[in-house]
């Protein structure tokens, strides 16, 4: 029984090469080198190296899990992990060879051989299934020419340019340094190190499969916590800074990096904690479920109170820098909740949401600015203008919504995208320059004043965002459970039938657009007050895509999902600056992956939990019937 089945070896090969392609891709787009800048544990491992290790580790785990399910022995499992690790490193190794001076000829050779090999392989396949001879020769020639054009052209480009770097700037010295684990000079040593480390990570992944569940859970938990704390070292330090004295802090962190001993300690502590949770977590949950409803409600209430307390105290807990991030996240939560009224509740894919954001920001800027463009000499204050911005955004939403009411879903999306682009171009144009400053934008926007105190710090602005978000949340929950919410839902499900039910769909859609715009306007106004200046470059399609992504990743129509989505998608690039260059790469990939694998999002709305509950009820009913 200690033999590999064919499908198992195939899964080792494909998954191993896939993870190898992933590693090569992240290297070629510059992720690995950029992430290397951030040390996870001082002098031990950087984020870039972690990425190099995580891929074989995870793939090794997945492959071994499959092997174990088909009853393979432990030795074979470990060796499959090694194989996966080696396969993961393979594409990178090849690229290293191509990139080196001595072996560059291999690149040329490979590029020139590819068309012939591919064509011959295809022709051989055709020959085996007994195709027509002329067809075989014809397809051989066609493939040689087609692939030949591309690969010979690449060969020419690399030959003339002299090296890979002039075409692919991220196959750089930094990258070589990271993937060879600091052996950039001795290529062979570097390659050997890479293969060794990768194989080790793969083997570790498969070893995890062999560990019994409870210690495994504990180990993974400990590892996860340590690495997360390490990766977000800067954030953690900033939080601790507020509460811990400097000397202790110095012992834990070297600048923003976790030192080795505290990391080890953290690992041990969190592993133990993970172990305890794995042992007793199930019982605790069961105990909670068995509580009387009134007691359970009390526990829930206490939890909610603590959560509210944290929310209220947040700026004092996390300090200035992180409060600033919190305000940015809050602005996006606000926009996410607003756009969700259109997308999630009414099913209207609005890709021009940035329009409302821009309107709100510019209204606030022009009306309150004390600079040359503010004609009103600061007569208006922030608090007076917020309702104006809200109304103006509603008007804008209304005006842009009327023409698109009759459009079907995909056309509506593109038309709103068009509106967004039009607004962007107008904002930067000479035509409106006397009014809103063209490319220079509007400057000198005063901070809000609250009973005589100027709210100049992010800690104070945080509360404005918090209140606005809570109000939006309240409104959207109230609406969702009302007649209006049901109208929207019906339109989302089937617009024709909704009309046949007597719903004035044009009116309901208009309301959705207008209310969603209102929130965008408030978010824009807060943004303008926070930054103090308004530039047209802040209002591009990327804002709309940002908001769309966080809604979809969090879970369409799910309010907690939107908050989590905003924290992850907006917070991550703010906290890990290395990420920010790749944020749209990841948003794009996330949108595609979510649509294919998990269209309901990570924290699905009640719609889905509804379904689960219904399933449980049906089961109970079936059981009762029996």
Partner 1 sequence: MFKWRTDDFSWVDFTIDVLRVIIVLGVVIGAWNTLSSGRISLAQWVNLFAAGLSQGSIYALIALGYTLVYGILLMINFAHGEVFMAGAFSTVFLAEALNRTGFLNAQPLLAILLMIAFAGLVSMSVAILLERIAYRPLRGSPRLVPLITAIGASFFLQYTFRGLYGSGFKAYPGVNALQGAIEIGGISIPVVQVFVFCAAIFLMLCLYWLVERTRVGKAMRAVSENKEVARLMGIDIDWVIMFTFGVGGFLAGSAGVINGLFRPQGVNFYMGFIPGIKAFTAAVLGGIGNIPGAMLGGLFLGVIEAIGPNLVLAGLGIPGANQLKDVIAFTMLVLVLIFRPQGILGERLSETKA
Partner 2 sequence: MANEKQANGRPKDQGRILEAKGMTKRFSGLVAVDNLDFYIPAGAIASIIGPNGAGKTTFFNCITGFYQIDEGEILFDGARINGKTPDQITRSGISRTFQNIRLFNNMSAIENIMVGQEPHLRSTWIGAILGLPSTRGEDARTEERARELLRFVGLEGKGDMLSKNLSYGDQRRLEIGRALASKPKLILLDEPTAGMNPRETIETTDFIRRLRDEVGITVVLIEHDMRVVMDISEHITVLDYGRKIAEGLPAAIQTNPDVIEAYLGRGAAQASGA
Q: Phi/psi at 582 (nearest 5 deg)?
A: -110, 15
Identified binder of partner 2 from the candidate list 142, 493, 537, 598, rule CB under 8 A: 493
Integer Cα distance of 209 and 80 in angstroms? 12
User: What count of Cα atoms within 13 Å lies in the side-chain half-sphere of residue 182?
Assistant: 6
Binding pattern for the stretch 411-450 against partner 1, x by CB under 8 A and - elsewhere: x-xxx-xxx-xx--xx-xxxx-------------------
Please select the residue that binds partner 1; options are 106, 109, 149, 497, rule is CB under 8 A: 149
Candidate ranges 9-17, 147-155, 415-423, 614-622; the one touching partner 2 (CB under 8 A): 614-622
Of the two residues 581 and 611, which places its CB atom closer to partner 2 in the complex? 611
Pick what 404 binds: partner 1, partner 2, none; C-beta below 5 to 8 Å, kind-dependent.
Answer: partner 1
The DSSP-derived string for 434-484 is HHH-GGG-B--PPPPEETTEE--SHHHHHHHHHHHHHHHHHHHHHHHTSHH
Q: Which residue in 231, 586, 509, 133 sits closest to 350, CA to CA? A: 509
For the bound state, the minimum distance from the C-beta of residue 458 to partner 2, rounded and expressed in Å, comes to 30
Of 97, 264, 489, 510, which one interacts with partner 2 (CB under 8 A)?
489
Site string for partner 2, 435-474 (x = CB under 8 A): ---------------------------------------x
Determine how many CB atoms are found less than 10 A away from the CB of residue 183: 17
Tell me, what DSSP letter sits at residue 538? G
Q: Does 539 bind partner 1 (CB under 8 A)?
A: no
> What residues does 450 pair with on adjacent strands?
453
Interacting residue with partner 2 among 497, 592, 595, 620 (CB under 8 A) = 497
Binding of residue 118 to partner 1 (CB under 8 A): no
Q: Which residues face 453 on adjacent strands?
A: 450
Q: Is 138 in the site for partner 1 (CB under 8 A)?
A: no
Of 153, 189, 243, 481, the residue at the interface with partner 1 (CB under 8 A) is: 153
**Backbone angles phi and psi of 450, in degrees to 5:** -120, 105
Separation of alpha carbons 556 and 536, rounded Å: 29
Q: How far is the CB of 484 from partner 2 (least distance, A)?
A: 4
State both tokens at 358: 């821009």
Residue 576 backbone phi and psi in degrees, to 5: -110, 90
Return the range that interacts with partner 1 (CB under 8 A); candidates 70-78, 115-123, 404-412, 523-531.
404-412
Interface residue with partner 1 among 135, 506, 618, 620 (CB under 8 A) is: 506
What is the smallest separation between the CB atom of 149 and partner 1, expressed in angstroms?
5
Q: Residue 553 burial (CB < 10 Å; 0-12/13-18/19+)?
A: buried
484 belongs to the binding site for partner 2 (CB under 8 A): yes
Stretch of residues binding partner 2 (CB under 8 A), selected from 156-164, 193-201, 528-536, 604-612 = 604-612
Helices and strands (H and E) in the chain: how many = 27, 6
The answer to whether residue 511 forms part of the interface with partner 1 (CB under 8 A) is no
Q: Which stretch binds partner 2 (CB under 8 A): 41-49, 201-209, 315-323, 478-486?
A: 478-486
With tokens 């492959």, the residue in question is 63
Q: Which of 128, 502, 623, 624 forms a contact with partner 2 (CB under 8 A)?
A: 502
Long-range pairs, 286-290, Cβ under 8 A, ≥24:
none
Please report, as residue ranges, which positions from 27 to 46 form the binding site for partner 2 (by CB under 8 A): none
Using an 8 Å Cβ cutoff, are 462 and 323 in contact? yes
The separation between the first and the last C-alpha atoms of the chain, rounded to the nearest angstrom, is 43
Whole-number Å distance between alpha carbons of 79 and 72: 11
In the complex, least distance from residue 440 CB atom to partner 1, rounded to whole angstroms: 14
CA–CA separation, 440 vs 433, rounded Å? 9
With a CB cutoff of 8 Å and minimum separation 6, the contacts of 174 are 33, 36
Distance set, CA 372 to CA 140, 397, 437, 450, 529 (Å): 71, 28, 9, 25, 17
For residue 532, report the phi and psi dihedrals to the nearest 5 degrees. Answer: 90, -15
Question: Is residue 302 a contact residue for partner 1 (CB under 8 A)?
Answer: no
Residue 415 contact, options partner 1, partner 2, none, Cβ 5-8 Å cut-off depending on partner type: partner 1
Check residue 511 for interaction with partner 2 (CB under 8 A). Answer: yes
- Select from partner 1, partner 2, none the partner in contact with residue 402, using the beta carbon and a kind-dependent cut-off of 5 to 8 Å: partner 1
Which CB sits closer to partner 2, 173 or 613? 613
Please, which residue, 390 or 511, has the CB nearer to partner 2? 511
Burial of 361 (0-12, 13-18, 19+ CB in 10 A): buried
CA distance 567 to 333: 8
β-bridge partners, 254: 257
Choose, by CB under 8 A, the member of 143, 490, 567, 570 that binds partner 2. Answer: 490
Residue 500 contacts partner 2 per CB under 8 A: yes
Q: Is 141 in the site for partner 1 (CB under 8 A)?
A: no
Tell which one of 150, 311, 477, 500 touches partner 1 (CB under 8 A): 150
Residue 499 interacts, among partner 1, partner 2, none and using kind-specific CB cut-offs from 5 to 8 Å, with partner 2
Closest CA to 448 of 372, 538, 386: 386
Sign of CA dihedral 422, 424, 425, 431: positive
CB of 309 to partner 2, least distance (A): 26
Structure tokens, 572 = 């991550």
Subset of residues 545 to 604 that bind partner 1, contact rule: CB under 8 A = 545, 548-549, 552, 582, 584-585, 587-592, 595-596, 599
Q: Which stretch binds partner 2 (CB under 8 A): 86-94, 192-200, 202-210, 486-494?
A: 486-494
Shortest separation between residue 159's beta carbon and partner 1, angstroms: 8
H helix runs in 103-212, sequence order: 104-128, 133-161, 173-179, 187-210
Q: How far is the CB of 460 from partner 1 (least distance, A)?
A: 35
Which residue number, 438 or 560, has a Cβ lying nearer to partner 1?
A: 438
90: tokens are 């393979």
Nearer to partner 2 among residue 398 and residue 582 (C-beta): 398
Q: What's the gap between Cα 304 and its chain centre? A: 27
Length of the chain: 626
Q: Which residues bind partner 1 (CB under 8 A)?
A: 25, 28-31, 146, 149-150, 153, 156-157, 159-161, 167-170, 347, 349, 351, 402-411, 413-415, 417-419, 421-422, 425-426, 428-431, 506, 541, 545, 548-549, 552, 582, 584-585, 587-592, 595-596, 599
Q: Which residues bind partner 2 (CB under 8 A)?
A: 474-475, 478-479, 481-487, 489-490, 493-494, 496-505, 511, 515, 607, 610-611, 613-615, 617-618
């Amino acid at each position: 029984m200690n033999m590999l089945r064919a499908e198992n070896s195939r899964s080792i090969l494909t998954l191993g090469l896939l993870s190898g392609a992933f590693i090569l891709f992240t290297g070629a787009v510059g992720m690995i080198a950029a992430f290397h800048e951030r040390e996870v544990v001082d002098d031990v491992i950087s984020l870039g190296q972690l990425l190099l290790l995580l891929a074989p580790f995870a793939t090794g785990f997945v492959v071994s899990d499959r092997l174990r399910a088909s009853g393979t022995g432990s030795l074979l499992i470990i060796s499959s992990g090694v194989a996966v690790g080696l396969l993961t490193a393979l594409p990178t190794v090849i690229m290293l060879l191509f990139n080196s001076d001595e072996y560059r000829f291999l690149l040329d050779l490979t590029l020139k051989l590819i068309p012939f090999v591919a064509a011959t392989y295809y022709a051989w396949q055709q020959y085996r299934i007994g195709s027509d001879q002329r067809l075989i020769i014809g397809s051989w020639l066609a493939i040689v020419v087609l692939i030949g054009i591309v690969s010979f052209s690449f060969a020419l480009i690399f030959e003339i340019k002299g090296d890979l770097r002039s075409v692919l700037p991220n196959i750089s010295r930094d990258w070589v340094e990271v993937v060879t684990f600091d052996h950039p000079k001795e290529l062979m040593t570097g390659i050997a190190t890479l293969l060794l480390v990768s194989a080790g990570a793969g083997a570790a992944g498969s070893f995890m499969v062999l560990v019994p569940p409870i210690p495994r859970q504990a180990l993974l938990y400990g590892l996860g916590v340590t690495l997360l704390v390490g990766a977000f070292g800067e954030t953690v330090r900033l939080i601790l800074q507020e509460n811990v004295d400097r000397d202790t802090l110095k012992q834990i962190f070297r600048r923003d990096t976790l030192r080795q001993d505290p990391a080890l300690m953290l690992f041990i502590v969190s592993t133990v904690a993970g172990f305890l949770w794995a042992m007793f977590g199930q019982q605790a949950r069961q105990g909670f479920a068995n509580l009387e409803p009134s007691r359970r409600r009390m526990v829930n209430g206490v939890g909610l109170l603590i959560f509210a307390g944290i929310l209220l105290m947040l700026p004092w807990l996390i300090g200035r820098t992180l409060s600033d991030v919190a305000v940015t996240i809050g602005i996006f939560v606000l926009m996410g909740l607003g756009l969700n009224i259109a997308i999630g509740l009414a099913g209207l894919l609005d890709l021009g949401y940035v329009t409302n954001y821009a309107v709100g920001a510019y209204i606030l800027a022009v009306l309150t600015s004390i600079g040359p463009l503010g004609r009103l000499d600061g007569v208006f204050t922030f608090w007076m203008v917020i309702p104006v911005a809200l109304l103006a955004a509603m008007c804008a939403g209304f005006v842009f919504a009327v023409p698109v009411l009759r459009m079907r879903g995909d056309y509506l999306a593109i038309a709103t995208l068009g509106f967004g682009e039009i607004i962007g171009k107008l904002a930067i144009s000479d035509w409106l320059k006397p009014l809103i400053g063209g490319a220079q934008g509007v400057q000198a926007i005063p901070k809000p004043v609250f009973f005589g105190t100027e709210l100049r710090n992010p800690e104070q602005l945080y509360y404005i965002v918090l209140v606005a978000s809570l109000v939006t949340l309240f409104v959207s929950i109230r609406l969702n459970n009302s007649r209006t919410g049901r109208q929207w839902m019906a339109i989302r499900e089937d617009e024709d039938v909704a009309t046949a039910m007597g719903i004035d769909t044009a009116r309901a859609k208009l309301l959705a657009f207008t209310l969603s715009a209102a929130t965008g306007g408030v978010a824009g106004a807060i943004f303008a007050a926070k930054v103090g200046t308004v530039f047209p470059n802040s209002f591009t399609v990327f804002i709309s895509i940002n908001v769309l992504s966080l809604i979809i990743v969090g879970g369409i129509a799910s309010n907690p999902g939107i908050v989590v989505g905003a924290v992850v998608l907006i917070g991550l690039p703010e906290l890990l600056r290395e990420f920010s260059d790749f944020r749209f790469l990841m948003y794009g990939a996330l949108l595609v992956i979510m649509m294919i694998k998990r269209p309901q999002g990570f924290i699905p709305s009640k719609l889905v939990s509804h379904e689960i509950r219904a399933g449980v009820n049906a089961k109970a009913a079936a059981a009762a019937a029996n």
